[in-house]
Amino acid sequence: MMRRDGFAWLTGLWTALFCAFVGWSVSAQEDSVADMPPDLLSIGGEVTEIVYALGQGHRLLARDTTSTYPAEANKLPDVGYMRALSPEGVLSVGPSLILTAQGAGPVEAIEVLRAADVQMVEVPHGFDGAAIAEKIRVVGAALDVPVKAEALAREVTAALDSATALADSHTGPRKRVLFVLNARDGKLTVGGGATAADALITLAGGINAAQGFDGYKPMSEEAALAAAPDVVVMMGRGDHSLPADVLFAMPALALSPAAQAGALLKVDGLKALRFGPRTAEAVRDLNSALYGG
């Protein structure tokens, strides 16, 4: 009669062999998609980054205007801004699969696309490690590369955990940070709660100076003076980016600690605000800019 420990050993061996076989089978299946012809349209910068991070960039037929990373994406046809899509323009590239970030629009255009004979997968929104991992898994499932997606999700989550742990280790006073989306005609539009800007600031160890509201909204001169930011953050590219001397000459910011110190940080909007594979890097960059190191 076989001893219990011998039986347990054989059971463990069989389980290990079975898991290895299943893993090999799935990996082999995923490798088979490497030769698939272009069939995919990606809408949303973080979605496109994930497609490339999963090694599936060769399947892209086109992308939207926000999809500018990696550099290879810029060689693809551009179907327009993700919130102002034309169904005709989207369908003209002939995709068999559309991956779109949540929030793409307008609603009428999305309804037309859903009614078309094209598979469409919406990638969920979110501003933390769990949300990024879910985005990766959704994209991986849609592209039939779940094993690669799981590995990438774990890698990205670990990197973000490490970055936030570094930020949390800062023992000095936390800096008040104001994210300015634009300063058109001398009026500030800033990032309040429940925004990517708020999440980035918090993960990097700062305090969002825009309190008491959610979303990206105009901020009055009085509210900006009361916010008293130590640092102002803006996106480094685009029409809404301003030089420090122009920004800090505005009455809303002229008396702020940030203006006195000339503390204006310019960030890569796609990396910093899209919450995708490079978010850990964005958190480390902002933490280093705020506190040194």
pLDDT in tens, 143-171: 999 999 999 999 999 999 999 999 999 88
Nearest to 130 by CA among 118, 138, 142: 138
In this structure, are residues 225 and 257 in contact, taking their beta carbons and an 8 Å threshold? Answer: no
**Angle at which helices 4-31 and 146-168 cross, to 10°:** 100
In this structure, are residues 273 and 200 in contact, taking their beta carbons and an 8 Å threshold? Answer: yes
Specify the pLDDT at position 35. 63
Per-residue pLDDT at 78 exceeds 50: yes
Q: 237 by DSSP, 3-state: which?
A: coil
Return the minimum-mean-pLDDT range out of 11-15, 227-231, 252-256: 11-15
DSSP 116: S
**CA 21 and chain centroid, separation:** 34
- How does residue 37 score in pLDDT terms, banded at 50, 70 and 90? confident
Beta strands 207-208; 176-182: pairing state: parallel
Which position has the higher pLDDT, 17 or 91? 91
How far, CA to CA in Å, does 169 sit from each of 5, 173, 176, 248? 46, 12, 17, 31
Helices (H), 32-120: 45-53, 87-91, 107-115
- How does residue 236 score in pLDDT terms, banded at 50, 70 and 90? confident
- CATH T-level assignment (fold) for domain 35-166: Rossmann fold (3.40.50)
Residues 197-211 have a mean pLDDT of 98
Nearest to 204 by CA among 151, 262, 273: 273
Q: Residue 92 CB: number of other CB atoms within 10 A?
A: 12
Place of tokens 């990517």: 196
How many Å apart are CA 100 and CA 124, to the nearest integer? 9
Per-residue pLDDT at 25 exceeds 80: no
Residues 121-135 have a mean pLDDT of 97
Residues 25-37 have a mean pLDDT of 58
Which position has the higher pLDDT, 117 or 286? 286
Domain 35-166 matches domain 170-291 at the CATH topology level: yes
Q: 292 by DSSP, 3-state: which?
A: coil
- How does residue 238 score in pLDDT terms, banded at 50, 70 and 90? low
Per-residue pLDDT at 185 exceeds 90: no
Structure tokens belonging to residue 248 = 């800090």
Per-residue pLDDT at 15 exceeds 60: no
In this structure, are residues 196 and 141 in contact, taking their beta carbons and an 8 Å threshold? Answer: no
Q: List the chain domain ranges.
A: 35-166, 170-291
- How does residue 19 score in pLDDT terms, banded at 50, 70 and 90? very low
Match domain 170-291 to its CATH number in 3.40.50.1980, 3.30.559.10, 2.60.40.1120, 3.40.190.10: 3.40.50.1980
Residues 48-58 have a mean pLDDT of 98
Average pLDDT over all residues of the chain: 90
| Percentage above 90 pLDDT, the chain | 82
Residues 36-54 have a mean pLDDT of 94
Task: Return all residues near 146 (Cβ < 8 A) that are at least 6 apart.
Answer: 26, 30, 137, 140
Task: Return all residues near 74 (Cβ < 8 A) that are at least 6 apart.
Answer: 68
Residues 233-239 have a mean pLDDT of 79
Structure tokens belonging to residue 258 = 């940030």
Return the minimum-mean-pLDDT range out of 9-13, 41-45, 74-78, 139-143: 9-13
How many Å apart are CA 33 and CA 40, to the nearest integer? 13
